[in-house]
Amino acid sequence: MRFISSELKERNNIYHMYITYADKDNKIRKTSKTTKLKIKTGRPRDDKNNKKEAEQMLIDFVNEFKQSINSNKFIIGMAGFNKMEEPTFYDYLNTWIKYKENHSKKKPQETTITGYIRKNNVIRRYLEEQKWDTLKVSDITWRHIQKFYDDKEDEGISQSTIRKYHNNIRQTLDLARRNGFISENPAKNEDIIIPDPEEYVAETLNEEEITQCLALFKGTDYWLSIYLSCNYGLRRSEVLGLRWKDIDFDNNMITLSNTLYETVNKETKQYEVKAKPQMKNKKSRRTLPLTEEVKSVLINWKNQQEKYKKLCGKSYVKAWDGYVCTRSYGDIIKPDTLSRAFADTLKKNRFKKVRLHDLRHSFATILLRKGINLQVISKLLGHSTYAITAKTYAHVDDSDKEIPIGIISDIMNTSEKKEEADKEGGEK
């Protein structure tokens, strides 16, 4: 390899350093690294200092690059130095994950990284099955990628999921291109056919179907979480993150302020459940009415939990003590486990095909058909904006205007109490 030239370029008001070089086959390549220094700060003196510092960083970057050539190493963008040998696409998928974790402008949330890892695991398994796991990054063609998409579509994988696979592959190969392993990204080849994004219209259950659905889970560890999801339209992370301290039995209120999610342990590489005292958005932190029926169910379960603790003794899992939706021996229910159990049980009993998340849509749809205002439904669901609620449920026919007595009166009373409490708090 030989060094050819270097330069500073502007990208999004940031100085970026570029090196042009010839690889071992005498092909012209480029590698780059950000300085993280702004070009225009609004202060002329700082602009001048940043330019000088960027120029010095470029000199250092070139020197490091030349040293890496002499020591038989090669620089990989912002990820540091690696051996000159070109990696396999199989391994480089994980390199891209590390790059996203450490060098993204806005650090991705753990749940986002876990999503990337899960998609990568599927891609890597496919590479193993096809005996493609030894292919170098530059060996991957658009035909390999297209076969993967076609095979996944034949398996019945949804279009949106295939597009997520495509996102991982495209970004991994973009990194490889920037680091000089390939000159063009095969994932961007015009011959690749990527499924169009599908507009998912949720299947919903009516009140009778919800009763039938709940009956399928009676006596299982999953019944309570599904019951609460049906009654309040909760997200999976919200219902599993519910704690006893979030329930005010005296004032008949439930406050949602904690969620559970799955992530990958970096040391063991195993999936684990974590709690996060943070909601999806500001409006997701909300207070809901505790109806008499739900109150009775929760009190009975709380008493049952205490009996299980005594019965299991030292075998009872204490790590999730204080959480509502636990197994009989105290362990938490993993989010993905709940979704799989829900889908498998419905399939086994030849029940209408709906997702766990569709219980949330069912709750909203039933209220809308009963004539409940969309603004109220939006607050109950914890949507970040009213527009999301309006767009999601624009198709619903609100022909049945009869307002149910139970939960709606409680909803209105709780909303009023909450507003009064907020006003009193503000006056103080």
Residue 327 and residue 405 in one domain: yes
Average pLDDT over residues 39-51: 87
Residue 78 and residue 93 in one domain: no
| Model pLDDT for residues 116-147, shown as the tens digit of each residue | 999 999 999 999 999 999 999 999 999 999 99
Give me the count of residues in the chain.
428
Average pLDDT over the chain, rounded to an integer: 83
Residue 383 and residue 272 in one domain: yes
Residue 178 and residue 245 in one domain: no
Q: Which of 247, 273, 249, 269 is nearest to 259 (CA)?
A: 273
Residue 38: strand, helix, or coil: strand
* Angstrom distance (rounded) from CA 200 to CA 391: 12
Residue whose entry in the numeric block shows the structure tokens 């219902």: 239
Q: Which of 62-76, 177-191, 239-253 has the highest mean pLDDT?
A: 239-253
| Backbone angles phi and psi of 75, in degrees to 5 | -85, 140
Residue 80 and residue 189 in one domain: no
What's the confidence (pLDDT) of residue 90? 95
Residue 422 and residue 304 in one domain: yes
Share of the chain above pLDDT 90, in %: 42
* Angstrom distance (rounded) from CA 79 to CA 181: 14
Long-range contacts at 413-422 (CB < 8 A, ≥ 24 apart): 413/289, 414/252, 414/253, 414/287, 414/288, 414/289, 415/376, 415/379, 417/251, 417/253, 418/287
- How many other CB atoms are found less than 10 A from the CB of residue 368? 19
Average pLDDT over residues 367-391: 75
Q: How confident is the model at residue 382 (pLDDT cuts 50, 70, 90)?
A: confident
Helix residue ranges, H only, 130-158: 142-154
Over 80: is that where the pLDDT of 78 sits? no
Q: How confident is the model at residue 271 (pLDDT cuts 50, 70, 90)?
A: confident
Query: What is the domain-level CATH number for residue 127?
Result: 1.10.150.130
Residue 93 and residue 57 in one domain: no
What's the confidence (pLDDT) of residue 75? 45
Within 8 A by CB and 6+ apart from 194, the residues are: 149, 162, 163, 166
Over 80: is that where the pLDDT of 393 sits? no
Residue 330: strand, helix, or coil: coil
| Model pLDDT for residues 287-323, shown as the tens digit of each residue | 888 999 999 999 999 999 999 999 999 999 999 999 9
Our count of domains for the chain comes to 3
What's the confidence (pLDDT) of residue 401? 37
Residue 255 and residue 362 in one domain: yes
Residue 126 and residue 60 in one domain: no
Residue 141 and residue 228 in one domain: no
Over 70: is that where the pLDDT of 79 sits? no
What's the confidence (pLDDT) of residue 149? 95
Q: How confident is the model at residue 409 (pLDDT cuts 50, 70, 90)?
A: very low
Q: How confident is the model at residue 26 (pLDDT cuts 50, 70, 90)?
A: confident
What's the confidence (pLDDT) of residue 198? 67
Among 162, 185, 200, the domain boundary falls at 200
* Angstrom distance (rounded) from CA 65 to CA 59: 10
Query: What is the domain-level CATH number for residue 261?
Result: 1.10.443.10
Q: Six-digit token pair at 243?
A: 């704690």
Q: How confident is the model at residue 72 (pLDDT cuts 50, 70, 90)?
A: low
Q: What CA dihedral angle connects 294, 296, 297 and 303, to 10 degrees?
A: 140
* Angstrom distance (rounded) from CA 368 to CA 127: 47
Q: How confident is the model at residue 384 (pLDDT cuts 50, 70, 90)?
A: low
| Model pLDDT for residues 212-253, shown as the tens digit of each residue | 999 999 999 999 999 999 999 899 999 999 999 999 999 999
Domain that holds residue 25: 1-84
Residue 95 and residue 69 in one domain: no
Do β-strands 259-264 and 271-276 pair in parallel, antiparallel, or remain unpaired? antiparallel
pTM attached to this predicted model: 0.63
* Angstrom distance (rounded) from CA 276 to CA 258: 6
Q: Six-digit token pair at 125?
A: 């398994």
Q: Among 87-91, 112-116, 169-173, 263-267, whose mean pLDDT is lowest? A: 263-267
Residue 266 and residue 405 in one domain: yes
Among 200, 221, 238, the domain boundary falls at 200
Among 84, 108, 134, the domain boundary falls at 84
* Angstrom distance (rounded) from CA 337 to CA 290: 27
* Angstrom distance (rounded) from CA 270 to CA 262: 10
